[in-house]
Structure 1
Amino acid sequence: MKIVDVKATVLNGPEQEFRWKEEWEGRKLGFVLLRIIAEDGIEGHCIAYLVGPGQMEDALPRVRATLVGRDPHDVEAISYELTDKLVSPSAVASTVDIALWDLIGKIHETPVYQLLGAARHKVRAYASTVWYPEVQDYVDLALKCREEGFTAYKIHAFGVPDKDIEVCRAVREGVGDSMDLMLDPVNAYDRAGAMRVGRVLDELDFYWYEAPIPDSDLDGLADLSRALDLPVSAAESIAGGLRYLPPYLVRNAGDTFRGIGDFIGGISAMKKSAALCEAFGTKYEPHSYGSTLIQAAHFHVMLAIHNCDFIELPVPTGILDGGMKDALRVNAEGFVDAPVKPGLGYEIDEDEIANLTVRELEVSAFSTHTGV
């Protein structure tokens, strides 16, 4: 079976503005739908939210030249080509990889995680917040998430140590011991502030402490990991992907490690990162924040590995589910059950896609763009 076409569509994103710490300006997210079409009409899909329309448009000539006429089962070879042997991963190359896996799963009428080698059939979920202006907003949302079935909750607060401590104390008081809690200040603190917050999180029995200082500060991350009882989760912004992970592992610069699969090379790269972490006896807890199909791509990797405790779900629930018939949802026990449909297991709604469409991306016959 061969690939016969590649199409991309710019979609309107959600109306909500997205911020993950106080000083960041809010921004609205846009979506780009990539379709990889096989000769019998089966399509592999990915709705990206880290890919700008111009970036995808510039990359389409090379993507089409690389894919059309190829067997989608050559996903490893294709991903290696588009990332220059994993040296230069990108959101576009990652989107292609994810859509290829969706296509392969549909060809075989099998969920992707089973093709990867299923390790389990459900994963515990945590609710992942955006930024809110008031402390009570975090408490109210935590209680709402608990009602929905979540047993864990991650806070994105102000990125200011004393303010974040106030939020963490309030949320712990609000939920008691009924939820595991995490904090992600998105690399905002200096070393002293990170240690001060970390000692409070130990006192409050938080589950993990994510990205407290810049990911480039390996010595600082190692010091925090040694000094604190709770796990320090590091390397969330390793934009270079798999090749940049070994120094963190060798230097013990973190207790668990993060990765953004929709940037580092998709499902193929995440599986390799997870195996590398497993070899070092550490957890691999990839981000799954993004559109439904981005969440799904990460979820299938999580279902196929042992060294991951959680799937991250954006809250308020449904804020990034545009254009879909299906979505990932927490069950009454706090888990997300594996999808049963083939491929990524979550189906786009073609009518809704049509309503959200801004424009179809076209490639001029005279285009000279080659980048991915």
Structure 2
Amino acid sequence: MKIVDVRATLLKPTEQVFKYTDDWPGRRVASILFRVIGEDGNEGHCTTWLAAPGQTEDLMPRIREAIIDRDVHDVEAINYQLTDRLRAPNAVQSAIDIAIWDLIGKHHGQPIYKLLGAARHELRAYASTVWYPTIQEYIDLAFECRNEGFNAYKMHPFGVPDKDIALSRAVREAVGDTMDLMLDPVNAYDRLGAIKVGRVLEELDFYWYEAPIADADIQGLTDLTRKLDLPITAVESINNGLLHYPPYLVNHAVDSVRSVGDWMGGITAMRKAAALCEAFGVKYEPHSYGTTLIQAAHFHVMLAINNCDLVELPVPTGILDQGMKNALRVEENGNVPAPTLPGLGYEIDEDEIDRLTDRELSTTGSDSFG
């Protein structure tokens, strides 16, 4: 089955303002919807907030050249051609890969994770917060998430060690042992601050400690991993693809690897990353924070591997479900069930997409590599 067209639509920004540490500016985010259209009439979809409109318009001529009239099953060849032509994985190429997998699943009438080889049919979820200015707001949201069914809760805190210690103590005291807790300061600390916070998180029995220092600081991460019994997870900001993963694995710099599938090569790249981690006996716990279809793309990879324990869902629930008919939801047992619809398994609402459309992005842009 051939690919006959590809389109991109810029959507209006979210109402929600997104902010993740004290010193990050809050911003509303605008997503781009990519459509890869097959000759059977099916469409593969992906919405991403990481691709910029100008970048998309520059790259679409190259995308069209690479995929139009190709068999949709040539996903590995297409992925390799796009990363070669575009020099490295990026958000546009990653979204196209995800949309192609969605189209493959719809063509065969199967969810993607079954085509990848299902390892399970549900996965435990954790709630992943935005930044809040007060400790009480984190506590209130933790109770709200627990009432929804979550039994794991990750905080994007203030990004200041002493303030984050106070926050962690307060939330642990509030929820007791009813929830596993994680902390993600988004690379905010220096090495000394990271150790100081990590010691307290060990005392409070946190489930993991994410991105405490710069992901590029392999030696610092290695030292933290050796000094702390608390699992260290990192690497998601390293966005140049698989070639940059081996030093983290060879040096045992982390206990689990985070990656962002929507800029490191899509589903095709994530399943390779998962296998690479498995070979080193390391967990692969990809970041799945993003639009519903981005969450879904990560979720399908997680359902098709054994070295992943949790799927990340943005909270408050629904803040990134723009333009969708259905979305990932936690059940009372704390798990998210696998989708049963084909492809990614979550459907866009065409009427809502029409309402949200800012403009169609040109497919006849420059000959730039972006």
Match of 1:314? 314
Match of 1:301? 301
Match of 2:192? 192
Q: Distance in 1 between matches of 2:84 and 2:253?
A: 27
Q: Distance in 2 between matches of 1:262 and 1:243?
A: 17
Is the CA contact (8 Å cut-off) linking 1:109 and 1:343 kept in structure 2? Answer: yes
CA displacement, residues 263-310 of structure 1 (integer Å, 9 cap, x when unaligned): 000000000000000000010000000000000000000000000010
Q: Is 1:231–2:231 an aligned residue pair?
A: yes
CA displacement, residues 2-38 of structure 1 (integer Å, 9 cap, x when unaligned): 1111111111132111111010001111110000011
Match of 1:63? 63
Match of 1:21? 21
Letter in 2 for 1:287: H
Q: Distance in 1 between matches of 2:172 and 2:186?
A: 20
| CA apart distance, 1:87 | 5.9
CA displacement, residues 81-118 of structure 1 (integer Å, 9 cap, x when unaligned): 11128961100110000000000000000000000000
Q: Distance in 1 between matches of 2:290 and 2:13?
A: 11
Is the CA contact (8 Å cut-off) linking 1:87 and 1:243 kept in structure 2? Answer: no
Letter in 2 for 1:196: K
Is the CA contact (8 Å cut-off) linking 2:7 and 2:363 kept in structure 1? Answer: no
Match of 1:96? 96
Match of 1:52? 52
Is the CA contact (8 Å cut-off) linking 1:324 and 1:347 kept in structure 2? Answer: yes
Match of 2:210? 210
Is the CA contact (8 Å cut-off) linking 1:50 and 1:91 kept in structure 2? Answer: yes
CA displacement, residues 233-275 of structure 1 (integer Å, 9 cap, x when unaligned): 0212111121100000000111111000000000000000000
Match of 1:289? 289
Q: Distance in 1 between matches of 2:159 and 2:133?
A: 12
Is the CA contact (8 Å cut-off) linking 1:325 and 1:348 kept in structure 2? Answer: yes
Match of 2:276? 276
Q: Distance in 1 between matches of 2:77 and 2:166?
A: 49
Q: Distance in 1 between matches of 2:236 and 2:351?
A: 35
* Identity in percent: 66
SS at match of 1:13: coil
Q: Distance in 2 between matches of 1:87 and 1:144?
A: 44
| CA apart distance, 1:121 | 0.3
Give the TM-score normalised by the residue count of structure 1: 0.98
Q: Distance in 1 between matches of 2:40 and 2:115?
A: 21
Q: Is 1:12–2:9 an aligned residue pair?
A: no
- Mind listing any 5+ residue stretches in structure 2 that lack a counterpart? none
- Mind listing any 5+ residue stretches in structure 1 that lack a counterpart? none
Is the CA contact (8 Å cut-off) linking 1:105 and 1:342 kept in structure 2? Answer: yes
Q: Distance in 2 between matches of 1:268 and 1:179?
A: 33
Match of 1:368? 366
Provide closer, same or farther for how the CA distance between residues 275 and 311 of structure 1 changes in structure 2, counting only shifts above 3 A: same
Is the CA contact (8 Å cut-off) linking 1:123 and 1:311 kept in structure 2? Answer: yes
Match of 2:31? 31
Letter in 1 for 2:369: G
Q: Distance in 2 between matches of 1:118 and 1:85?
A: 32
Is the CA contact (8 Å cut-off) linking 2:11 and 2:33 kept in structure 1? Answer: yes
CA displacement, residues 96-143 of structure 1 (integer Å, 9 cap, x when unaligned): 000000000000000000000000000100000000000111000001
Letter in 2 for 1:259: S
SS at match of 1:73: coil
Structure 1 runs of 4+ off > 4 angstroms?
none
Letter in 1 for 2:366: T
SS at match of 2:343: coil
Q: Distance in 2 between matches of 1:39 and 1:333?
A: 41
Is the CA contact (8 Å cut-off) linking 1:36 and 1:43 kept in structure 2? Answer: yes
Letter in 1 for 2:333: E
| CA apart distance, 1:188 | 0.6
User: Aligned pairs, how many?
Assistant: 370
Letter in 1 for 2:27: R
